[in-house]
Structure 1
Amino acid sequence: MLVDDDHGDAKAVQRAFKKVKIANEITRAIDGLEALDYLRGTGGKDKIHPPYVLLVDINMPRMSGIELVQELRADPELSRSVVFFLTTSSHEQDIEAAYDLNAAGYIVKETAGRDFLELVNMVDRYWRIVEFPEPSN
């Protein structure tokens, strides 16, 4: 799942997934509230089921990425969600807040590059080699 309000960045990530031939479906949410609707199957959204990896921007309207992950960690059904922050912020307080929430990684968009190919390759490798726990019922 890609949670990002920037349409240009979202399209770049989606193009990179296609270019690298990753067949996994990408569900996009424009902010934390919409992401929660997809993860919980509320607000008229079809629920996505684990395993999944979230790429989350920090600075978004309505609910920021940090607030989203705080909500995930407080929800027993979503607390094990794997989250990578993908953001423009290189502020130390944001990096610390992300890792305090057990982020799997923190990637600054500028470092990832505009075509995001390295990022997508990294997420693909992660997805292929990491063992995920069975979903809780």
Structure 2
Amino acid sequence: MCIPVTNHRDTEPIQILLVEDNPGDVRLVEEAFREAGVETTFHTAHDGDTALEFLRDQRADVDPSDLSLVLLDLNLPRTSGFDVLEAIKTEPDVSAPPVLVLTSSEATEDIARSYELCANAYLTKPSDPDEFTEIGRAVEAFWFDEATLPPASA
């Protein structure tokens, strides 16, 4: 069973958990959202263990930061992106807003497994750094302007 999520858009910056071990890709993603005009606060985890710790802390926090989205790489040190998705799907103390896999893999089996583990979308990292801006615009336009998601209590 996939975790229900909420979606809200107000005047506060969008809170995104970016799970990425490559500092260059972290910089490209952050710049892409800035260039796309998306006011964003990034929380960065450089491995799956740190991401799961952050999500568990969010769940336990009485005043969470209203995390809006997770951008998840699959190829991570220690705990893989697949393991993070599995934990979100199965562990009651881990929950997350929409999870968008953002990875370099174009393998059909990685795409299928991500969706089986309830990823909300699968995006392949562009090879051209300028194309990251288009991803930022597309994510903002769809996930924050167009999509209506079920309430957390659903």
**Common topology (TM > 0.5):** yes
In structure 1, runs of 5+ residues without a counterpart are none
- CA distance 1:9–1:39, shift in 2 (3 Å): same
Corresponding residue for residue 129 of structure 1:
146
The match for 1:117 among 113, 119, 133 is 133
Corresponding residue for residue 95 of structure 1:
111
SS at match of 1:41: helix
TM-score normalised by L of structure 2: 0.75
Per-residue CA deviation, residues 55-92 of structure 1 (Å, 9 max, x unaligned), is 10010100111110100111235446311111111111
- CA distance 1:90–1:48, shift in 2 (3 Å): farther
Matches within 5 A, 1:68-107: 68-76=84-92, 78-79=94-95, 81-107=97-123
CA distance in structure 2 between the partners assigned to 1:88 and 1:53 by the alignment: 19
Alignment: residue pair count: 132
| RMSD, aligned CA | 2.3
CA distance in structure 1 between the partners assigned to 2:151 and 2:92 by the alignment: 14
TM-score normalised by L of structure 1: 0.83
- CA distance 1:75–1:50, shift in 2 (3 Å): farther
Corresponding residue for residue 38 of structure 2:
22
CA distance in structure 2 between the partners assigned to 1:36 and 1:132 by the alignment: 22
Corresponding residue for residue 70 of structure 2:
54
Identity of aligned residues (%): 31
